[in-house]
């Protein structure tokens, strides 16, 4: 009869969970020892828990099924929390396994003792369970898997005491029933069809699973028939885009721009998305972006049947034969001269290979990316769903493991890259085909913008230095080489293109440090708040033109 850990790993594998991203300690040693008893389970070691959780997130986004994590006690969970937060906000399924002391050791308050459930509730509000008996461990695991799958997908935390893991008498369990999204009733579909047939301005806001090909095609038919605009949430979990797919406009990060996008709407139809609110609050500005007179409809909530509801709406509108607007193929020219953030985006648009997985955590430096890559060969885009930076490099690991035959391109800001820089080591260890591009502008550039926006008027040298990464300059090529990853620096567009082509052609991970000036010059940055303040008061066509210029 297997021990607890053996029964657990067999149960995970039976349910199709075949990758575990790990950073174990002593209390997880029986789980580690049991890995060799289950050939279907791959264990991927990371040097930091935030890499493990971010990799599990990236894996699930691309594999369409969860991975497991293996973390060490409350502190390991703390280290992994930020990327579990991003997964939670992206409705991504993860079976988050956290080792704990033996049940009888907990009351003794040893050095590493802390309240794990307390921390876990932050990212796993829907499922936290401390398994209490070896015989029930696999059953608890099946409950965790079912909770993770949703819908909506979520982070399910299973806490695994060491004695429950090492105990004899584990009982493997069959997998849970497949997830069953709730059906949407006809009355709701009809009501929304009625609003779309009416005279007001309308838009569909697509999020979550509604940004995949079949859902996008259905939405595009609805748009073609009704004249509704197609919007996507600001930070999609996974967006299928590129030539031949329906294009969709993302809600802008800057609330003032989003206000222009949404300001004229009479009806907004949510599809696996929530009504947009501003990312942060700003003094004297509203946080809700949808105008009061706009009626918000929910076509499908996150626990409901997204594709079924879209197809029903297509039928209700008689749009089955409507030709959807599709993105034509086009690429920008090859850039030349001194490198800038815009030229990096242009080079990526010029060179993006077929079936790429693009991870965008470039923050301000990535502003031009959506435009430059819109007509590239079809690709998947993964973004920072929860706003907790340090997601991109770990996501790249998971995506590359989920899709070993596809190139992964991770676009990362320099400040951002440093939160989980340890990810590079796992990329080298697993020989993953990841090309990481670091936008090195030596600044928390977005905070320079935000410092102006929050209305902090006098900005002194101490404040400015809090956003400055120039002294000392970070040398990402050396950092990568120190972790076994091939790396180069580029400060011209020619060098960047060359390095990017080389990285795509050669197997294994590569890092390119793109040395660029600050994304927004001081003058532009100081002008920004004034422009943004004026935006809602400008005539709509001018505001739209400005908006396109500011955030294409």
Instruction: Name the one range near a second copy by CB under 8 A: 171-179, 398-406, 415-423, 499-507.
Output: 415-423
Q: Which is nearer to a second copy, 259 or 332 (CB)?
A: 259
376, 242 Cβ separation under 8 angstroms: yes
The two counts, helices (H) then strands (E), for the chain are: 22, 18
Q: How far is the CB of 236 from a second copy (least distance, A)?
A: 12
Residues 178, 187: contact at Cβ < 8 Å?
A: no
* Binder among 58, 386, 392, 398 for a second copy (CB under 8 A): 386
Nearer to a second copy, 101 or 547 (CB): 101
Work out how close the CB of 388 gets to a second copy at its nearest, in angstroms, rounded to a whole number: 4
* Footprint on residues 112-171 left by a second copy (CB under 8 A): 112, 114-115, 118-119, 121-123, 125, 162-163, 166
Query: Looking at beta carbons only, is 23 or 226 nearer to a second copy?
Result: 23
Judged by beta carbon, residue 122 or residue 327, the one nearer a second copy is 122
Any contact of residue 471 with a second copy (CB under 8 A)? yes
Residue from 465, 527, 540, 548 touching a second copy (CB under 8 A): that is 465
Residue 473, C-beta contacts closer than 8 angstroms, at least 6 positions apart: 442
Q: State yes or no: residue 26 binds a second copy (CB under 8 A).
A: yes
Q: Which of 18, 102, 224, 377 binds a second copy (CB under 8 A)?
A: 102
User: 191 vs 473, which CB is nearer to a second copy?
Assistant: 473
Candidates 105-113, 138-146, 177-185, 397-405 — which segment interacts with a second copy by CB under 8 A? 105-113
Sign for the pseudo-dihedral over CA of 74, 76, 79, 82: negative
Please give the radius of gyration of the chain, using alpha carbons only, rounded to the nearest integer.
24
Among 110, 321, 505, 523, binds a second copy (CB under 8 A): 110
Q: Which of 463, 506, 534, 545 binds a second copy (CB under 8 A)?
A: 463
Nearer to a second copy, 425 or 500 (CB): 425
What is the smallest separation between the CB atom of 85 and a second copy, expressed in angstroms? 5
Q: Which residues fall within 8 angstroms of residue 18, CB to CB, at 6 or more apart?
A: 12, 40, 41, 42
Question: Are residues 474 and 455 in contact, defined by beta-carbon separation less than 8 angstroms?
Answer: no
Identify which of 113, 120, 115, 70 has the alpha carbon closest to the alpha carbon of residue 95: 70
| Structural contact between residues 138 and 170, judged by C-beta atoms closer than 8 angstroms | yes
| Stretch touching a second copy by CB under 8 A, among 262-270, 322-330, 450-458, 528-536 | 450-458
* Residue 522 makes contact with a second copy by CB under 8 A: no
Number of residues that bind a second copy (CB under 8 A): 103
Joined tokens for residue 527: 């002008």
Closest to a second copy by CB, 460 vs 507, is 460
522-534 helix and 445-453 helix, angle to the nearest 10 degrees: 40
Tell me, rounded to whole angstroms, the distance of Cα 156 from its chain centroid.
17
Binding mask 473-502 for a second copy (x = CB under 8 A): xxxxxxx-xxxx------------------
How far is Cα 240 from Cα 434, in angstroms, rounded to an integer?
19
Is 528 within 8 Å of 551 (Cβ atoms)?
Answer: no
Among the listed ranges 176-184, 242-250, 325-333, 420-428, the one in contact with a second copy (CB under 8 A) is 420-428
18, 43, 297, 518: which one binds a second copy (CB under 8 A):
43
Q: Which of 21, 59, 235, 439 binds a second copy (CB under 8 A)?
A: 235
**By CB under 8 A, is residue 326 in contact with a second copy?**
no
When the beta carbons of 38 and 342 are compared against a second copy, the nearer one is 38
SS3 per-residue string spanning 313-381:
HHHHCCCCCCCCCCCCCCCCCCCCCECCHHHHHHHHHHHCCCCCEEEEECHHHHCCHHHHHCCCCCEEE
Asked if residue 410 lies in contact with residue 510, where contact means CB atoms within 8 angstroms, the answer is no
Residues 57-76 touching a second copy, rule: CB under 8 A, are 74-76
When binding is defined by CB under 8 A, the residue of 171, 243, 307, 451 that contacts a second copy is 451
Pair 267, 297: CB distance under 8 Å: yes
Q: How many residues appear in the chain?
A: 552
Q: Quick one: 339 or 474, whose CB is closer to a second copy?
A: 474
Handedness of CA 160, 166, 169, 172 (dihedral sign): positive
**78 is a contact residue toward a second copy (CB under 8 A):** yes
Site for a second copy in 262-321 (CB under 8 A): 274, 277-281, 283, 287-288
Backbone phi and psi for residue 457, each to the nearest 5 degrees, phi listed first: -80, -55
CB of 478 to a second copy, least distance (A): 4
Q: List the one residue from 19, 35, 156, 252 that touches a second copy (CB under 8 A).
A: 35
Nearer to a second copy (CB atom), residue 26 or residue 186: 26
345 - beta bridge partners? none
Q: Respond yes or no on whether the N-terminal peptide bond of residue 152 is cis (omega within 30° of 0).
A: yes
């Amino acid at each position: 009869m297997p021990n607890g850990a053996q029964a657990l790993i067999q149960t995970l594998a039976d349910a199709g969970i075949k990758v575990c991203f790990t950073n174990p300690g002593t209390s997880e040693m029986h789980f580690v020892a049991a890995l060799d008893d289950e050939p279907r389970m791959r264990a991927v070691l990371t040097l930091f828990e935030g890499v493990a959780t971010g990799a599990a997130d990236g894996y699930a986004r691309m594999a369409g099924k969860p991975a497991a994590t293996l973390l060490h006690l409350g502190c390991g969970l703390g280290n992994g929390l930020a990327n579990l937060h991003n997964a939670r906000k992206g409705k991504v399924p993860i079976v988050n396994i956290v080792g704990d002391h033996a049940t009888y050791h907990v009351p003794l308050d040893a050095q590493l003792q802390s309240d794990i459930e307390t921390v876990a509730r932050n990212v796993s509000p829907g499922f936290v369970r401390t398994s209490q008996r070896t015989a029930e461990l696999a059953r608890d695991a099946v409950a965790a898997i079912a909770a993770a799958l949703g819908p909506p997908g979520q982070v399910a935390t299973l806490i695994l005491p060491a004695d429950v893991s090492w105990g004899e008498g584990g009982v493997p369990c069959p997998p849970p029933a497949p997830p069953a999204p709730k059906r949407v009733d006809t009355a709701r579909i009809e009501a929304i069809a009625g609003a779309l047939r009416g005279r007001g301005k309308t838009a569909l806001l697509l999020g979550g699973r509604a940004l995949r090909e079949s859902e996008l095609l259905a939405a595009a038919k609805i748009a073609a028939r009704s004249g509704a605009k197609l919007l996507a949430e600001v930070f999609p979990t996974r967006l299928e885009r590129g030539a031949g797919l329906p294009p969709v406009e993302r809600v802008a990060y800057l609330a003032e721009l989003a206000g222009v996008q949404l300001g004229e709407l009479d009806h907004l139809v949510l599809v696996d998305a929530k009504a947009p609110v501003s990312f942060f609050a700003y003094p004297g500005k509203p946080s809700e972006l949808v105008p009061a007179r706009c009626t918000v409809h929910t076509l499908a909530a996150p626990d409901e049947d997204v594709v079924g509801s879209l197809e029903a709406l297509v039928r209700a509108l008689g749009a089955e034969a409507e030709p959807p607007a599709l993105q034509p193929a086009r690429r920008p020219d090859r850039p030349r001269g001194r490198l800038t953030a815009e030229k990096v985006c242009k080079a990526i648009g010029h060179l993006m290979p077929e079936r790429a997985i693009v991870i965008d955590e470039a923050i301000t430096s990535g502003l031009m990316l959506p435009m430059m890559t819109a007509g590239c060969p079809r690709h998947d885009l993964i973004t920072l769903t929860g706003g907790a930076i340090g997601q991109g490099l770990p996501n790249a690991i998971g995506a590359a493991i989920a899709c070993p035959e596809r190139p992964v391109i991770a676009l990362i800001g320099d400040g951002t890259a440093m939160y989980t820089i340890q990810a590079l080591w796992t990329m080298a260890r697993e020989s993953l085909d990841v090309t990481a591009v670091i936008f090195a502008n030596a600044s928390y550039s977005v905070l320079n913008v935000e410092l102006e926006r929050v209305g902090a008027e006098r900005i002194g040298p101490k404040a400015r230095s809090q956003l400055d990464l120039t002294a000392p300059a970070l040398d990402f090529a050396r950092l990568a080489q120190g972790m076994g990853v091939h790396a180069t620096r580029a400060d011209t567009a020619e060098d960047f293109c060359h390095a990017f082509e080389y990285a795509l052609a050669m197997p294994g991970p590569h890092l390119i440090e793109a040395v660029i000036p600050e994304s927004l010059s001081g003058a532009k940055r100081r002008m920004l708040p004034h422009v943004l303040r004026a935006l809602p008061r400008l005539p709509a066509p001018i505001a739209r033109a400005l908006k396109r210029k500011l955030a294409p």
